[in-house]
Every structure is written in structure tokens, then in C-alpha cells.
């Protein structure tokens, strides 16, 4: 059996296990089953017979072109850049467990990951033994599939955070890191996610912080131009320019701290212990990530607290964190 055949068969087995998980996006009631023909694969609704295409082993619930296309572009270029298994560091692991406080052994739990990117956090979640259902609005799902698709505990799809085709209250944990600010309406996106947390389950998020220091950043002066640029052109410009500025940015960081690093319109992370080559890759990736998204909506601490209060969550913890505002809360058990 060749590798392509084995992957397709594994996908069929995963989708069979998910029969009671995915819901039809048309009638919103029927479960979806894998339907294979000689030429293609679809998920077919048991009730209304609506079909969802399966392309490259991934169910696609959204159009090919959408507001997150820049993320698909960057993550398929930098498929491995941010993986802990690639860097040899624990940056992704530390970020997850620093925000969540979760155990690193979650073998009995099911986790929904909203906005997977190339799968840097997916890799860590799978290492806990949990069953992980992960999605992204962009074609970054293909990079995630390349990185993590062989793990039988992963179910991966391309979907919309505002119309998640899953059964509500099905997940012990819901996680959304680095995503909400890049949606058209972060508060509504958060409210949508809370519907998928089981009673007694937890949701964790982070979102860029809206304060004076964050708004006095190069990106908010340049984004009105860069977010409208052709993605390939913007990437090539950044790819050529950023490596020449990394050394100066690192020098400014070492001598003037975070203020010094902000003097140049790029990002770099030498202080994290990245090798020069890894730092170059991260600098290109995160500088592109800073300037290219269609949406960038930072939030204040009080606003995020209000989200959690309006969702009726308990044990709420909202605070400043490494990526802005970090927050977690528990859905109360039903009376």
C-alpha cells in the first residue's frame, strides 16, 4: 500500500469516528458521513444529502478565498518554523500551559482548537494524549495536516469560527490562541466558541491588548497600506528587508529593552534563545503576520472580562500575558 492510499484510508477512519460530531452546515441537524466516489470525497448529510467537499484529506466548510488567506499563505511557507519539535525549544508548550494551567496528561479529554495555523499548538495538545479537533479558516490547515495529520487522535477541518459545524457542548476544553483579534468581530467569535464547551469545561483565549503602548506601534501606522498589498509582493519585500534589520533590532533590544526593539518596524526574537537562522525565519514570518492580516482588533482587559461575564462563565481569570490579554473561564454545571 502506498503512502497516499494509507493517508486516505486513515482519513476515512477518522471521519467515521466523527459521525456524531460534525453537523450539516445546511440543515444544521444531520450528521455527516464520508462518501467516496472514484473521483472525489465528500461529507454527506444523513438528513438532507448536502455535501461538503473533502480536499487533500481535509473537510472544507468555507470558500477557498476568504479574509484569512494571508494566514494560509504564510503558514504553508513557514510550515515548521514555530513547531517546538523544529526549534528544539518549548515556546508553544510554555504558552499553552502558562495560560491554561492544564495538566500535561489529558488522555481522557476532548479539546477544540480554534485557529490552528500550521499546528504549533496542535502538536503540543496531541502530546497530552487528548483527542483534538482542530480547525482554521485559512488553508493553513494543509500545513497542520502535513505536520500532525498522521496522529490518529487529530480531526482537522477548514471552517468558520462563527459557524462551527460541530455539536454544541461537546468539548472538555476549548482553546483559541492568537486568533480572535484577526476576526471581523472578536467578541462575537468568543461568544460562538463558548457554545462548544461542556458544562464543567474550560475555555482559554488570548487576544492582542488595546492600550497606548500597543497602539503606538509601527504596524498600526503601516497596516492601512500593507493589508491592501498583494500578499506575495508584501512577503517578498519583507523577506528581502527584514534580515538586514534583525541584527540592529537585537542590539536595540539588548541595550534598551522592549522600547528599543520597537524602534524598527520588524519583530525578532533573539532573546528567546533562537539560533540566528531560526530567528531570521521567525522575524520574516511574524513581521509578515503583523502587516498582512485583513483584521487586527486589539481588546482591553475590561472588554475581555465583560465577554466572560456575558457568557455566564465562572472561575474567570483575565490578565496581561505574553501575547496581550490572556483569559480563561469555566462553564458552570447545569442545575
Statement to judge: residues 188 and 86 lie in one domain: yes
Of the candidates 115, 67, 65, the residue with the CA atom closest to the CA atom of residue 227:
67
The grid coordinates listed for 200 are 464543567
Statement to judge: residues 153 and 91 lie in one domain: yes
Output the domain CATH number for residue 189: 3.40.50.150
Q: Which of 35, 59, 83 is where one domain is finished?
A: 59
> CA angle at residue 279 from 256 to 142, to 5 degrees?
135
Q: Is residue 130 in some structural domain?
A: yes
Ranges in the chain, pLDDT < 50: 1-18
Contact between residue 207 and residue 299 where contact means Cβ atoms under 8 Å apart: yes
Q: Is residue 123 in some structural domain?
A: yes
Statement to judge: residues 113 and 229 lie in one domain: no
Statement to judge: residues 71 and 193 lie in one domain: yes
Statement to judge: residues 228 and 252 lie in one domain: yes
Statement to judge: residues 128 and 179 lie in one domain: yes
In this prediction the pTM is: 0.92
Calculate the CA dihedral of residues 266, 270, 271, 273 and round it to 10 degrees: 150
Q: Is residue 24 in some structural domain?
A: yes
Q: Which of 34, 59, 84 is where one domain is finished?
A: 59
The pLDDT score that the predictor gives to residue 40 is 86
Q: Which of 41, 59, 77 is where one domain is finished?
A: 59
Q: Is residue 315 in some structural domain?
A: yes
The pLDDT score that the predictor gives to residue 138 is 95
Distance, CA of 93 to CA of 116 (rounded, Å): 14
**H or E element: which one contains 326?**
strand 324-330
Statement to judge: residues 157 and 228 lie in one domain: no
Domain that holds residue 2: 1-59
The pLDDT score that the predictor gives to residue 63 is 87
The pLDDT score that the predictor gives to residue 67 is 83
- The residues, any chain, with a CB within 8 Å of residue 22's CB and separated by 6 or more, are 31, 32, 43, 59, 157, 165, 166
Q: Is residue 78 in some structural domain?
A: yes
- The residues, any chain, with a CB within 8 Å of residue 238's CB and separated by 6 or more, are 284, 287, 288, 291
Contact between residue 20 and residue 167 where contact means Cβ atoms under 8 Å apart: yes
Statement to judge: residues 32 and 78 lie in one domain: no
The pLDDT score that the predictor gives to residue 258 is 86
**H or E element: which one contains 204?**
strand 197-207
Statement to judge: residues 147 and 230 lie in one domain: no
Q: Is residue 335 in some structural domain?
A: no
The three-class DSSP label of residue 59 is: strand
Q: Is residue 263 in some structural domain?
A: yes
Of the candidates 164, 153, 90, 146, the residue with the CA atom closest to the CA atom of residue 121:
90
Statement to judge: residues 184 and 89 lie in one domain: yes
The pLDDT score that the predictor gives to residue 20 is 65
Instruction: Indicate the number of domains in the chain.
Output: 3
The pLDDT score that the predictor gives to residue 10 is 40
Q: Is residue 314 in some structural domain?
A: yes
Statement to judge: residues 190 and 220 lie in one domain: no
Statement to judge: residues 83 and 230 lie in one domain: no
Amino acid at each position: 500500500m502506498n503512502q497516499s492510499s494509507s493517508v486516505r484510508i486513515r482519513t476515512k477512519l477518522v471521519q467515521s469516528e466523527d459521525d456524531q460530531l460534525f453537523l450539516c452546515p445546511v440543515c444544521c441537524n444531520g450528521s455527516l458521513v464520508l462518501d467516496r466516489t472514484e473521483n472525489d470525497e465528500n461529507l454527506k448529510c444523513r438528513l438532507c444529502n448536502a455535501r461538503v467537499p473533502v480536499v487533500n484529506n481535509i473537510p472544507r466548510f468555507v470558500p477557498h478565498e476568504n479574509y484569512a488567506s494571508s494566514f494560509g499563505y504564510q503558514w504553508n511557507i513557514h510550515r515548521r518554523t514555530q513547531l517546538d519539535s523544529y526549534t528544539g525549544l518549548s515556546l508553544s508548550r510554555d504558552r499553552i500551559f502558562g495560560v491554561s494551567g492544564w495538566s500535561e496528561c489529558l488522555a481522557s479529554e476532548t479539546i477544540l482548537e480554534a485557529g490552528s495555523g500550521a499546528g504549533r499548538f496542535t502538536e503540543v495538545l496531541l502530546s497530552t494524549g487528548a483527542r483534538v479537533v482542530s480547525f482554521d479558516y485559512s488553508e493553513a490547515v494543509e500545513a497542520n495536516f502535513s505536520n500532525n495529520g498522521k496522529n490518529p487522535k487529530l480531526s482537522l477541518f477548514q471552517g468558520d469560527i462563527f459557524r462551527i459545524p460541530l455539536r454544541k457542548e461537546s468539548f472538555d476544553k476549548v482553546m483559541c490562541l492568537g486568533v480572535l483579534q484577526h476576526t471581523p468581530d472578536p467578541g462575537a467569535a468568543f461568544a460562538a466558541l463558548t457554545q462548544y464547551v461542556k458544562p464543567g469545561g474550560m475555555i482559554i483565549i488570548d487576544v492582542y491588548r488595546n492600550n497606548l503602548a500597543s497602539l503606538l506601534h509601527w504596524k498600526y501606522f503601516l497596516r492601512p497600506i500593507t493589508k491592501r498589498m498583494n500578499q506575495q509582493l508584501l512577503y517578498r519585500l519583507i523577506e528581502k528587508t527584514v534580515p538586514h534589520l534583525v541584527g540592529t533590532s537585537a542590539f536595540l533590544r539588548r541595550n534598551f529593552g522592549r522600547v528599543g526593539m520597537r524602534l524598527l518596524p520588524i519583530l525578532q526574537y533573539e532573546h528567546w534563545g533562537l539560533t540566528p537562522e531560526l530567528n531570521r525565519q521567525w522575524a520574516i514570518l511574524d513581521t509578515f503576520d503583523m502587516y498582512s492580516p485583513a483584521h487586527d482588533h486589539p481588546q482591553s482587559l475590561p472588554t475581555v472580562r465583560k465577554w466572560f461575564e456575558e457568557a455566564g462563565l465562572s472561575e474567570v481569570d483575565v490578565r496581561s500575558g505574553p501575547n496581550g490579554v490572556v483569559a480563561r473561564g469555566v462553564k458552570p454545571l447545569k442545575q
